[in-house]
Structure 1
Amino acid sequence: MTSTPASAARKELGAFQGELIGPDDPGYPQARAVYNGMIDRRPALVARCASADDVTLAIGFARRHELPLAVRGGGHHGAGLGTCEGGVVADLSPLHAVKVDAAARTVRVGGGAIWGQVDAATHEHGLATPSGIISTTGVGGLALGGGLGHLTRHCGLTVDNIVAARVVLADGTQVRADADENPDLYWAIRGGGGNFGAVTAFTFRLHEVSTVVAGPTFWPAEQGAEVLAAYREFLPSAPRDVNGFFLYGTVPPAPPFPEELHLRKVCGVVWCHTSGDPEAADRAMAPLLDPLPAPLLHAVGPMPHPALQTMFDGLYPPGDQWYWRADFVHDIPDDAVALHAKFGPQTPSVQSTMHLYPIDGAAHDLRPSDTAFSYRDARWASVYAGVDPDPANAELIKRWTVDYFEALHPYSAGGAYVNMMMDEGQERVRASYRGNYARLARIKASLDPDNVFRHNQNVEPDPAARYEARP
C-alpha cells in the first residue's frame, strides 16, 4: 500500500496527543472545512493539536516531508489562509482553554479558542477585551492581524491588549513573547499575522466592560449620502465611550426585525456605548441622530456585552460563500460619499454588506511603529463583503465586491486590514504594513528564513537581513 502523509504521520508521530486525520478518514470532510464555503482545499493531513508539543510535531513533520503548512485557529479568514492544498493543517481548535485572572485583569486564552468563549468567561467578572463583532471568529486570526470591533475606540485594538503570547517557531522551539522576553517577536505578532509562528496561547488585558448600550439604527438606503456625510463628521469627535460602524445592507427577514422592514435596503450605524447608561448613550448619539430624518429603526438599548458580540452570528453561519475586499481610510470626501451612495444600495444578497469600522480613540494612542499594525493614523477600515449561501451566486457577489472596492480605492489610505483581505499579492501586503514592512521582513528572516509560515498575508524574509533578534 502506498504511504500517504496521514499514514506516515501516524507512524512517525508516536507522541502526538491529538488527532491525525487524512482524506480516507470519516471525519475528513468536517476537518478540512473552513468558514468560507468558497474555499475548497484538500490538505493531505489535518493535525488536531492537543498541546504545544503537538504543534511542534506537526511543524516538524511538514518540514521533513517538504509539505506546505497552514495554521488554523477559527478558520474564518476570507481567503482560506487556515488551510492548504496537499499540505499539513495544524488545527489549533483543541487548544481552547480560557482562564480569567480577575485580580490582574487578564485572561489567558488558547490559540484555538473562539471569541464567544472568551466573551462568556470574562463577562462573568464584568470584564472584556476587544474581540471583533462575530463571536464564532477565531481568537488567533483576529488577534494577530489587528482586531477591530465594537470596543476599538474605548479599549484599542486587540493587538494593543496582548500582554504576552506562547509561540511555536518554525524550528519547533516554544518561546514566550512579551515586552521583556523576545520583544522583537512580541512587536511582530501584534499585527503581523501568523508569519512568525503558531501562537498556542495569548494573555490579554481586560477592561471594565459589562453592560453596553448597543444595537442598530437604520435609515432607507436612499438616504445613505445624507447619513454618511453626517456620520463622517460626527464619529471622530464623539466621546471614546461611543463606537459605531456605518453600513449598507439588507434587513434580514427574521426576528427581531419588524416584518414591514424585512428585505428593505438600508444604511445605518451599529452602536456600542460602553458605559451601559442609556441616558449617557442617548446624549452621545444625539449630535448624529437629531439633525437627521427619523430612522426606520432605532433598536438601541442595554444588553450584556456578549449579546452584542453574538448579534450577527445567525446571519453569518459557517459555509456561506464569501468574497472580501478592504481598505484603510483617512477621510471620506463628498465624491467618496456619492460613490458609496451608488454602490451601497446595490448589495446583491441579504448578507452582502459594506462596513466602515472606526480606528481612532484609544487606537490612536499608539504610534504606527509601536506595533506591527501600521495604520494608526487611519480613521476607518472599510470592508466590502459579498456573501451568499448559494455557490451559484459566487460570481455575482464577487463582482459587486470588486466593483465597489475599485470605485472607492482611489480615496483610500493605500493599504488594508489584513484580516479582511483576500489573496491579493505581495505589493498589497507591503502597502498594508507600510514603513513597518522592512522590520517585519528582518524579523521573519531571523525566525523563519525558509518561510515555513507562508499561508498568510505573507511577509517574505529579507534575504539580506543581518538581524540579531533571536529567541
Structure 2
Amino acid sequence: MTNSPASPRSHTLAERELRAAVRGTVLTTTDAAYDGARRIWNGAVDRRPAVLTRCADAEDAAMTVRIAREHGLPLSVRGGGHDWSGRALREGGVVLDLSELRGVTVNPSDATATAQGGVRAGDLVAGAHEHGFKPVVGTVKAVGVTGLTLGGGYGLLGGLHGLAADNLLAARVVLADGTEVTADATENPDLYWALRGGGGNFGVVTDLRYRVHPGATVLSGLLLFPLDQASSVLRGYRELIAEAPDELTVMAGFFTGPEGTPVLFLLPMWSGDPALGNDAVARLAKLGTPVFGEVNPMAYQDVLGMFDAVVVDGRHNEMRTRWLPELTDTTTELLIAAAARMTSPYSGLYLHHFHGAAARVPSADTAFALRKDHLLVEIAASWAPAGDTEADAAHGQWARQVSAELAESALSGGYPNLLGSDERERALASFGAGGAERLLEVKRRYDPDNVFSAVPALLPTPS
C-alpha cells in the first residue's frame, strides 16, 4: 500500500462506505466518541486516524481491510492497544479496532479455548478458570492476547508449557485482500509458522484457538527485598533458576516499593504438585530478608492481578529490551545501579525467566527462534507528563541508557513485541539464521503490498 498522503475525498468516501457496510461503529474526528476511541495505553502516542472502525465481527474486519485498500488509505490494527510505540494507530489512516471482540469459549472435552481478536489476558484466564483450566498468557491481565501471542508471549507458565505462541493451535486470519483463511498445522502451515513469533505482519487475526492446561491453582506470591540486599539475592536467584525444574518459573525485577524507594522483587510460580513445590519456593525467601510478601497456593488469575496497578492507561511510556544469556556479576550490578537511578516511581525493570519446555521447542518450528535458556530484560520507563520537555525526555533517556549498558552482555536481536520502530536490525536478528528470510517469503506471499506493518523490519521486496 502506498505511503503517500490520501486525499480528503478518499477519507470521506471510505467513511461513507464503512458506515453503510459494517455492523460495528465507525468514528471520525467529528464524532463525540472519537477522542476516547483513539486513546491507547501509552499516553505519549497522540495520533489522529481519519477513521476508526470498531468491528462487531470478523466480517467487519474483512470489509474494513477491503475498503481501506480500495481508497489507498494506510491501515493499522488495534487489539489490546498496549504496544508502547503505538503501532495500533496510523496518522490519517484507518484503524481496524478489534477491542470490543472479547468473547471466550472453552471446550473442556479437548482442553482448548477459542478467543476473539480483542480478548485481553484477563478475559481468557477468567474463562478458563471457570472450567478448571489455565492458559499460557503474559503477566498482566490488561494486555491483548493476540498481540502477545503473535510476538511469542513470555509468561509464568513458560517452564512447563512454553510460550503463548507454542500453545496456539489455529488462527482465523483476514488477509490483505480481504479474504479470510484458517492457519494451522495442516491449512496454510507457512502462515501458521509465521504467526507464532513473527508479529502481526501478515493479516488481521480475528479468532485464535489455544491449548489450555488443567488446574486453576498455583503456588505463587510476591517477595520484596531492599535494594541493599539485591546483589546477594540475585546471585542466589541465578543459581536457583539454573537448576529450576519445568514446574518453577521465577520472574524478578525492580520497581518502587510501598515506601517510595526501589525494591527488588521475586515472583515465583510453581505450577506442578504443590506438595513438591514448597521446598523449591521456600528457597527464594531464604535468599535474603524479605521486607514484604509470602508464597501461598492461589488462583492463577489472582497472580496476574499483581501488576494491575502498573499498567495504567494514559501515562507516558518508553520501553527497551535486552536478551541476557545469564545474570553475570557485571549485569547484576548494572541492573541494580539502573534501579537506583530510576527517574520515575512508575518505571521498572522486569526479568522474564525463559527455560524448560519453552527452550526445548526446535528453533525452526516457530518464527520465535531463541530457544535456549535466557532472561528477557524489559526496561520500562513510565511517567506522568509534567509538561516540561526536558524533564519528560529524561525518562526515555534512562531506558535507552540502560539498554545501551546491557548491550555488550546481551544476545543479538531482541523481543519483537518490545522493540521500537528505530530498531530494525535488531528485529531482523531476533528471528535467527534463516528465520528472517523465511518470514519475508511468507510476507511476500500473503501481504506483498505491506498493508500490515506491526514489525517494521519485515518489509517485502520483489522476489
Question: Shorter-chain TM-score: which interval?
Answer: over 0.9
Quote the Cα distance in structure 1 between the aligned partners of 2:376 and 2:421.
18
The answer on 1:444 being equivalent to 2:443 is: yes
Q: Which residue of 1 aligns with 2:300?
A: 305
The answer on 1:18 being equivalent to 2:30 is: no
Residues 155 and 457 from structure 1, CA distance in 2 versus in 1: closer, same or farther, beyond 3 angstroms? farther
Name which of structure 1's ranges 376-385 and 329-338 shifts more when overlaid on structure 2: 329-338
The answer on 1:263 being equivalent to 2:269 is: no
Q: Provide, for residues 314-333 of structure 1, a one-character-per-residue CA deviation record: whole Å limited to 9, x for no partner.
A: 23211111110001121222
Cα distance, 1:16 vs. partner?
A: 1.0
The answer to whether the Cα contact below 8 Å between 2:19 and 2:26 also exists between their aligned partners in 1 is: no
Supply the AA of the counterpart residue of 1:120.
A
Q: Which residue of 1 aligns with 2:202?
A: 196
Quote the Cα distance in structure 1 between the aligned partners of 2:308 and 2:293.
20
Residues 11 and 444 from structure 1, CA distance in 2 versus in 1: closer, same or farther, beyond 3 angstroms? closer
Residues 28 and 461 from structure 1, CA distance in 2 versus in 1: closer, same or farther, beyond 3 angstroms? same
The answer on 1:220 being equivalent to 2:246 is: no
**Could you tell me the TM-score, scaled by structure 2's length?**
0.94
Residues 6 and 354 from structure 1, CA distance in 2 versus in 1: closer, same or farther, beyond 3 angstroms? farther
Q: Provide, for residues 382-430 of structure 1, a one-character-per-residue CA deviation record: whole Å limited to 9, x for no partner.
A: 1100112235453122111111111011111111111122222321210
Residues 395 and 362 from structure 1, CA distance in 2 versus in 1: closer, same or farther, beyond 3 angstroms? same
Counterpart secondary structure, 1:340: helix
Supply the AA of the counterpart residue of 1:453.
F
Quote the Cα distance in structure 1 between the aligned partners of 2:217 and 2:48.
43
Q: Provide, for residues 210-245 of structure 1, a one-character-per-residue CA deviation record: whole Å limited to 9, x for no partner.
A: 111212111111222222222122113112211111
Q: Which residue of 2 aligns with 1:338?
A: 333
Q: Provide, for residues 124-144 of structure 1, a one-character-per-residue CA deviation record: whole Å limited to 9, x for no partner.
A: 111111110110111111111
Supply the AA of the counterpart residue of 1:206.
V
Q: Which residue of 2 aligns with 1:467?
A: none
Counterpart secondary structure, 1:369: helix
Quote the Cα distance in structure 2 between the aligned partners of 1:11 and 1:173.
18
The answer to whether the Cα contact below 8 Å between 1:126 and 1:210 also exists between their aligned partners in 2 is: yes
The answer to whether the Cα contact below 8 Å between 2:415 and 2:427 also exists between their aligned partners in 1 is: no
Out of 52, 65, 73, the residue aligned to residue 46 of structure 1 is 52
The answer to whether the Cα contact below 8 Å between 2:250 and 2:268 also exists between their aligned partners in 1 is: yes
* Correspondence 1:23-422 to 2 at 5 A: 23-251=29-257, 253=258, 262-275=259-272, 277=274, 279-290=275-286, 292-392=287-387, 394-422=392-420
Counterpart secondary structure, 1:56: helix
Quote the Cα distance in structure 2 between the aligned partners of 1:326 and 1:270.
19
Gaps of 5+ in 1: 254-261, 465-471
Q: Provide, for residues 138-186 of structure 1, a one-character-per-residue CA deviation record: whole Å limited to 9, x for no partner.
A: 1111111001111111211000000000000001110000000000000
Taking only aligned residues, the RMSD between alpha carbons, in angstroms, comes to: 1.6
Counterpart secondary structure, 1:36: coil
Quote the Cα distance in structure 2 between the aligned partners of 1:337 and 1:94.
42
Residues 220 and 18 from structure 1, CA distance in 2 versus in 1: closer, same or farther, beyond 3 angstroms? same
**Could you tell me the TM-score, scaled by structure 1's length?**
0.92
The answer to whether the Cα contact below 8 Å between 1:325 and 1:421 also exists between their aligned partners in 2 is: yes
Q: Which residue of 1 aligns with 2:4?
A: none
Residues 440 and 327 from structure 1, CA distance in 2 versus in 1: closer, same or farther, beyond 3 angstroms? same
Cα distance, 1:276 vs. partner?
A: 6.6
Quote the Cα distance in structure 2 between the aligned partners of 1:335 and 1:320.
32
Quote the Cα distance in structure 2 between the aligned partners of 1:8 and 1:339.
51
The answer on 1:424 being equivalent to 2:422 is: yes
Q: What is the aligned length? A: 452
Cα distance, 1:295 vs. partner?
A: 1.8
Counterpart secondary structure, 1:380: strand
Quote the Cα distance in structure 2 between the aligned partners of 1:64 and 1:13.
15
Cα distance, 1:378 vs. partner?
A: 4.2
Gaps of 5+ in 2: 1-7
Quote the Cα distance in structure 2 between the aligned partners of 1:403 and 1:12.
45
Quote the Cα distance in structure 2 between the aligned partners of 1:264 and 1:302.
29
**Percent identity between the aligned chains?**
36
Quote the Cα distance in structure 2 between the aligned partners of 1:369 and 1:459.
18
The answer to whether the Cα contact below 8 Å between 2:223 and 2:285 also exists between their aligned partners in 1 is: no
Counterpart secondary structure, 1:245: strand
Q: Provide, for residues 351-373 of structure 1, a one-character-per-residue CA deviation record: whole Å limited to 9, x for no partner.
A: 21111101111101201111000
